[in-house]
Chains A and B, each alone.
Chain A
Amino acid sequence: MSELAFFIDYARCIGCQACVQACEECDTHRGRSLIHLEAVGRSEGPQTVPQVCMHCENPICARVCPADAIKQTSDGVTQSALKPRCIGCGNCVQACPFGVPKYEVAIDQMMKCDYCYDRTSAGKRPMCATVCPSQALSFITREEFDRTRRGVAVNTFRFGREIVRTKVYVVLPAGTERLDVRVTPGPAAGAVGSDDVARLLEEVEADGR
């Protein structure tokens, strides 16, 4: 049996918010949910996707931190910001290709998913994976994944010219080796969808005039 690994199957997400609630229950950051549950194409369908920290092999959040506050443990888990060091600059929030770090205004600190380190380092499953009813978030062995799932587990991503390898896997259709993410220069240059809240607000404002 190989060791337990984290698999995200976006297609299985039913948007029940159980992971968001469970994340809040974690003792290391009680009351603050660090998982992201994003709606995809809100105007077209109910699809949601959960996003936990992918725990990059070479964490860009830690590399851009000017205060040396983000550390990676030897088991490949990128920890949340060290409280006495984090200066709340938000560099990591900008840098993370997965949009994981959260800047908490009230405490002027960054907080991010830390793989439920208190639990996973003791052989338990992360909070979100224990509650996910459809197992879109699952913490299982490779053998169990192969036995129960279709599709392939991929941990290589390409953002523009950057190749990122992660500890956490995402489930993609069979035959995929890498997830290529198109990087647009910025919101001003790219076309925004009709579900873009900022654009909708702009339209409302324009109509009101």
Chain B
Amino acid sequence: MADERPVAGPRARHRHEEDFPIEWERDHYVTRREFAKFLTLGSGLLAAANVLMAIVGRLWRPAAPVAARIGRSADVPPGGSMLFRYPTPEDPCIVLREGTGELRAYSQICTHLSCAVVHRPDRDELFCPCHRGSFSTTEGRPTAGPPTRRLPRIRLEERGGEIFAVGVEA
């Protein structure tokens, strides 16, 4: 009959029928329980990965960097500073001599956003010009501005008028 409209049978699918199919198999429904399970397992996995990283970091240490000659003692007068690279040529560092005659050396990379810090002998600080952060010269701790972590310290030795870098304190 012409006026009959079969409900069943093949016909073009509407957009909403693609998005919300009646067929059980084509319906991708995430239950609250499944979602909670995913969240729990996911965060558990992240926590486990953190613990693993901590253990690995504690057990495995990079080989101690070898001592490197960085210059003559006379190159760094009291209140003066000098740049060098240690332990690799990719790691810029700064050595300075305080008024008392003590040598200090730190990584030159600001712990905030990795700009290069400069020595300001008049204010007795290491200064980062990018965001006006400053670090004390005695310990390398942040004293002002955005940085919150101290600069890695380079251990130095003076042997017969020569300065050697012998290690890094993270």
A163 touches which of B8, B22, B23, B32 (Cβ 8 Å): B8
Is A58's CB within 8 Å of the partner chain B?
yes
Is A2's CB within 8 Å of the partner chain B?
no
B24 touches A165 (CB 8 A): no
Tell me which residues across on chain B come within 8 A of A72, comparing CB atoms. Answer: 22-24
In the complex, how many angstroms separate the beta carbon of A69 from the nearest chain B beta carbon? 10
B23 touches A57 (CB 8 A): no
Tell me which residues across on chain B come within 8 A of A79, comparing CB atoms. Answer: 24
In the complex, how many angstroms separate the beta carbon of A78 from the nearest chain B beta carbon? 8
Is A60's CB within 8 Å of the partner chain B?
yes
B8 touches A71 (CB 8 A): no
B7 touches A162 (CB 8 A): yes
Is B4's CB within 8 Å of the partner chain A?
yes
Chain A-chain B contacts (Cβ-Cβ < 8 Å), number: 45
Number of interface residues of B (CB under 8 A): 16
Is B25's CB within 8 Å of the partner chain A?
yes
B8 touches which of A68, A70, A165 (Cβ 8 Å): A165
B8 touches A56 (CB 8 A): yes
Q: How far is the CA of A165 from the CA of B6 in the complex (A)?
A: 9
Number of interface residues of A (CB under 8 A): 23
Tell me which residues across on chain B come within 8 A of A57, comparing CB atoms. Answer: 8
**Chain B contact residues: helix, strand, loop or mixed:** loop
A164 touches B7 (CB 8 A): yes
Is A13's CB within 8 Å of the partner chain B?
no
Q: How far is the CA of A199 from the CA of B108 in the complex (A)?
A: 95
Q: How far is the CA of A161 from the CA of B7 in the complex (A)?
A: 10
Tell me which residues across on chain A come within 8 A of B32, comparing CB atoms. Answer: 84
A71 touches B24 (CB 8 A): yes
In the complex, how many angstroms separate the beta carbon of B136 from the nearest chain A beta carbon? 59
Q: How far is the CA of A14 from the CA of B95 in the complex (A)?
A: 104
Q: For window 1-19 of chain B, which residues contact chain A by CB distance below 8 Å?
A: 3-9
In the complex, how many angstroms separate the beta carbon of B4 from the nearest chain A beta carbon? 6
Q: How far is the CA of A164 from the CA of B5 in the complex (A)?
A: 10
* A62-B22 CB under 8 A given contacts A71-B27, A82-B29, A84-B32: yes
Q: Interface of B with A (CB < 8 Å)?
A: 3-9, 20, 22-25, 27, 29, 31-32
Q: With contacts A74-B24, A162-B7 known, what are 14 further pairs, Cβ within 8 A?
A: A58-B7, A58-B9, A60-B7, A63-B22, A68-B27, A71-B24, A72-B22, A73-B23, A73-B24, A73-B25, A74-B23, A74-B25, A161-B5, A163-B6
